Amino acid sequence: MLEDAPEEVARELTRSEREHVELTNTVDGIVWSTDARFRFTFVSKQAERLLGYPLQKWTQEPDFWLKHLHPEDQDWAPAFCMKAAMECRPHEFEYRMIAADGRVVWLRDIVTVISEDGVPSELRGIMVDVTEHRRAREHLEHMVSLLRATLESTADGVVVVDQRRRVTAYNKRFLEIWRMSDEFKKGWDGEKMLRYALTLVQHPEQFLERVETLRAAPDQEGVDTIELRDGRILERYSRPQRLGDTIVGRVWSYRDVTEERHARAERERLLREAEEAIRVRDDFLSIASHELKTPLTPLKLHLQVLRQRAVSGQPFPLQHVEKALAQVARLSGLINDLLDTSRIQAGRLELKHEPVPLQQLTREVLADLRSVCPQHTLEYEEPDEMLIIQGDRGRLAQVLVNLLENAIKYSPTGGLIRLTVDRYGAQALVSVMDTGIGIPSDQKAHLFERFFRARNAPISGFGGLGLGLYICRDIVERHGGRIWVESEVGSGSTFRFTLPVLEGAADAHALPAGPPGP
Angle (CA) 65 69 75, round 5°: 100
What is the rounded distance in angstroms from the CA atom of residue 30 to the CA atom of residue 52? 12
Q: Which of the four CATH numbers 3.40.190.10, 3.90.45.10, 3.30.450.20, 3.40.50.720 does domain 1-129 have? A: 3.30.450.20
Q: Do domains 1-129 and 151-256 have the same CATH topology?
A: yes
Higher pLDDT, 415 or 321: 415
Report the pLDDT value the prediction gives residue 17, as an integer from 0 to 100. 59
Identity at 418, one-letter amino acid code: R
124 CA to centre of own chain? 23
The three-state secondary structure class of 243 is strand
Identity at 14, one-letter amino acid code: T
What is the rounded distance in angstroms from the CA atom of residue 157 to the CA atom of residue 143? 25
Residue 135 reports pLDDT greater than 80 = yes
DSSP character for 466? S
Higher pLDDT, 53 or 340: 53
Predicted confidence band at 33 (pLDDT cuts at 50, 70, 90)?
Answer: very high
Mean pLDDT, residues 157-169: 84
Angle (CA) 81 59 80, round 5°: 5
Predicted confidence band at 405 (pLDDT cuts at 50, 70, 90)?
Answer: confident
Q: Which residues are CB-neighbours of 107 under 8 A, at least 6 positions away?
A: 30, 94, 95, 96, 97, 127, 128, 129, 130
Q: Which residues are CB-neighbours of 342 under 8 A, at least 6 positions away?
A: none
What is the rounded distance in angstroms from the CA atom of residue 192 to the CA atom of residue 231? 23
The phi, psi pair for 242, rounded to 5°, reads: -115, 145
CB atoms within 10 A of CB 241: 17
Q: Which residues are CB-neighbours of 254 under 8 A, at least 6 positions away?
A: 156, 157, 158, 174, 177, 178, 226, 234, 235, 236, 237
Q: Which is nearest to 51 in space by CA: 131, 115, 163?
A: 131
Predicted confidence band at 262 (pLDDT cuts at 50, 70, 90)?
Answer: confident
Q: Which is nearest to 110 in space by CA: 87, 138, 89?
A: 89
Report the pLDDT value the prediction gives residue 142, as an integer from 0 to 100. 86
Please state the domain extents for the chain: 1-129, 151-256, 294-349, 354-500
Identity at 120, one-letter amino acid code: P
pTM: 0.43
What is the rounded distance in angstroms from the CA atom of residue 291 to the CA atom of residue 451? 13
Second CATH level (architecture) for the domain 354-500? 2-Layer Sandwich (3.30)
What is the rounded distance in angstroms from the CA atom of residue 498 to the CA atom of residue 474? 13
Predicted confidence band at 509 (pLDDT cuts at 50, 70, 90)?
Answer: very low
Radius of gyration of the chain (CA): 34
Residue 291 reports pLDDT greater than 70 = no
Report the pLDDT value the prediction gives residue 174, as an integer from 0 to 100. 82
Report the pLDDT value the prediction gives residue 329, as an integer from 0 to 100. 65
CATH of domain 151-256: 3.30.450.20
Q: Which is nearest to 230 in space by CA: 282, 172, 178?
A: 178
What is the rounded distance in angstroms from the CA atom of residue 391 to the CA atom of residue 400? 14
Mean pLDDT, residues 301-317: 74
User: Rounded mean pLDDT of the chain?
Assistant: 82
What is the rounded distance in angstroms from the CA atom of residue 165 to the CA atom of residue 188? 10
481 CA to centre of own chain? 26
Helix and strand numbers (H, E) in the chain are: 15, 17
Report the pLDDT value the prediction gives residue 15, as an integer from 0 to 100. 63
Identity at 343, one-letter amino acid code: R
Environment class of 274 (CB within 10 Å of its CB; exposed 0-12, middle 13-18, buried 19+)? middle
Q: Please write the tens of the pLDDT for every residue from 73-113.
A: 999 999 999 999 999 999 999 999 999 999 999 999 999 99
Report the pLDDT value the prediction gives residue 461, as an integer from 0 to 100. 45
Residue 363 reports pLDDT greater than 80 = yes
Q: Which is nearest to 287 in space by CA: 150, 464, 165?
A: 464
Q: Characterize the bridge pairing of strands 376-381 and 415-424.
A: parallel
Instruction: Assess contact for 9 and 303: CB atoms under 8 A.
Output: yes
What is the rounded distance in angstroms from the CA atom of residue 241 to the CA atom of residue 166? 13
Sheet order of strands, 157-162 included: 167-170, 157-162, 246-256, 233-243, 222-227
Report the pLDDT value the prediction gives residue 377, as an integer from 0 to 100. 87
Residue 392 reports pLDDT greater than 80 = yes
Instruction: Assess contact for 252 and 158: CB atoms under 8 A.
Output: yes
H-state helical runs in 294-357: 296-312, 318-346
What is the rounded distance in angstroms from the CA atom of residue 366 to the CA atom of residue 372? 11
